[in-house]
């Protein structure tokens, strides 16, 4: 099976910053899953040892090009030439520490602002042990509480001890008889998404958190993002019952919405087995979330 790349959603544009070799970089990162995660044990293995790819863009170049773009109406094409580094590293998500460097390569920013790691100008940097340790140190300093919390959110449903920032919300104000969206607690968690003809569809998964109810339904509303405005519209939806493994349509959507087919396609696009992900989230909401709401009373 091919490895799966899962972009990490780390706060705002410049939240994740790395200072390395006396230079300042803006970083973006993605998790690389060795295969689709289908069991809690497999999720636990990744939490203990994850492969992460990190792209570093020279901060100065980035700011400069932004200012130029803002100044000129008939903007000249941005000059190529900023340094971009690509790093493959091992991260212990649980401990919040980078533990190894597998690969580092450098390239130049292209005129379009992209990184050409595949072309001839890309260069593999051979770091010795000391240089690797320096880079690991720099990466670990970059893991501020905000950055680390964002990196951990995709795993929250598998290991509740990873992040507790969601408990800072006013949980008491959320009524027990209302369905609670998982994304409300973990805005940087893993979106369940698929692309059809370049358009993005996302599942908003909602959970019953009424302590007096014992249902095992997961309510999934499929949102479509309109390409230009980014506005979201409810496109379809269904309920998936964990115990019976049955899909039920939601009455407000047309019966032309093929829930089984959408479930299958969302599952195919996800790095986590969809049934594992939804049932782990449901367990989290029933146990951790209800307990935390009680504790705030």
Would you count residue 69 as binding Zn ion (CB under 5 A)? no
SS3 164: coil
d(CA 2, CA 267): 15
CB 183 within 8 A of CB 189: yes
Residue from the set 213, 234, 291, 295 that interacts with Zn ion by CB under 5 A: 213
Comparing CB distances to Zn ion, the nearer of 125 and 290 is 290
Where in 110-149 is the site for Zn ion (CB under 5 A)?
Answer: none
d(CA 215, CA 278): 14
Would you count residue 178 as binding Zn ion (CB under 5 A)? no
Comparing CB distances to Zn ion, the nearer of 89 and 208 is 208
Q: Which tokens is 251 given?
A: 């009455």
d(CA 224, CA 206): 17
Where in 6-35 is the site for Zn ion (CB under 5 A)?
Answer: none
> Smallest gap, in angstroms, from Cβ of residue 255 to Zn ion?
24
Cβ atoms within 10 Å, residue 52 = 20
Q: What angle do CA 237, 243, 244 make, to 5 degrees?
A: 70
Residue from the set 208, 218, 276, 277 that interacts with Zn ion by CB under 5 A: 208
Of 19-27, 212-220, 259-267, 280-288, which segment contacts Zn ion by CB under 5 A?
212-220
Nearest by Cα to 220 from 271, 151, 267, 154: 267
Comparing CB distances to Zn ion, the nearer of 197 and 245 is 245
CA 261 to chain centre: 24
> Smallest gap, in angstroms, from Cβ of residue 179 to Zn ion?
9
The DSSP code for 79 is P
Nearest by Cα to 217 from 193, 234, 241, 199: 241
> Smallest gap, in angstroms, from Cβ of residue 116 to Zn ion?
52
> Smallest gap, in angstroms, from Cβ of residue 260 to Zn ion?
23
Comparing CB distances to Zn ion, the nearer of 5 and 215 is 215
Of 147-155, 180-188, 215-223, 258-266, which segment contacts Zn ion by CB under 5 A?
215-223
Of 52-60, 69-77, 189-197, 213-221, which segment contacts Zn ion by CB under 5 A?
213-221
Nearest by Cα to 105 from 91, 90, 121, 92: 121
Residues in Cβ contact with 251 at an 8 Å cutoff, skipping those fewer than 6 apart: none
The size of the interface with Zn ion (CB under 5 A), counted in residues, is 3
Of 117-125, 196-204, 205-213, 250-258, which segment contacts Zn ion by CB under 5 A?
205-213
> Smallest gap, in angstroms, from Cβ of residue 206 to Zn ion?
11
d(CA 240, CA 252): 16
The DSSP code for 156 is T
Would you count residue 215 as binding Zn ion (CB under 5 A)? yes
Comparing CB distances to Zn ion, the nearer of 10 and 206 is 206
- Give the binding site for Zn ion (CB under 5 A): 208, 213, 215
């Amino acid at each position: 099976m091919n490895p799966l790349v899962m972009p990490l959603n780390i706060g705002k544009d410049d939240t994740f910053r790395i200072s390395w070799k006396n230079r300042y970089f803006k970083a973006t990162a993605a998790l690389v899953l060795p295969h689709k995660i289908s069991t809690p044990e497999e999720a636990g293995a990744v939490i203990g040892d994850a492969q992460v790819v990190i792209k570093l863009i020279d901060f100065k170049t980035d700011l400069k090009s932004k200012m130029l773009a803002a100044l000129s109406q008939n903007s000249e094409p941005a000059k190529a030439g900023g340094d971009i580094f690509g790093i493959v590293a091992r991260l212990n998500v649980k401990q919040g520490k980078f533990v190894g460097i597998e690969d580092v390569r450098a390239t130049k920013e292209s005129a379009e602002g992209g990184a050409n790691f595949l072309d001839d100008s890309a260069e593999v940097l051979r770091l010795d042990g000391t240089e690797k340790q320096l880079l690991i140190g720099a990466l670990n300093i970059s893991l501020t509480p905000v950055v680390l919390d964002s990196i951990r959110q995709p795993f929250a449903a598998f290991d509740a001890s990873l992040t507790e920032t969601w408990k800072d919300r006013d949980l008491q104000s959320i009524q027990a008889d209302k369905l609670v969206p998982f994304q409300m607690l973990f805005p940087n968690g893993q979106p369940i998404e698929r692309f059809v003809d370049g358009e993005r569809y996302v599942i908003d998964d909602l959970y019953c958190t009424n302590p007096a109810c014992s249902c095992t339904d997961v309510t999934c509303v499929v949102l479509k993002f309109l390409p230009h405005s980014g506005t979201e519209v409810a496109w379809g939806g269904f309920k998936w019952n964990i115990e019976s493994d049955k899909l039920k349509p939601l009455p407000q959507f047309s019966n032309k919405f093929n829930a089984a087919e959408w479930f299958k396609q969302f599952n195919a696009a996800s790095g986590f087995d969809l049934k594992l992900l939804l049932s782990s989230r449901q367990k989290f909401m029933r146990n951790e979330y209800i307990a935390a709401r009680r504790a705030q009373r």
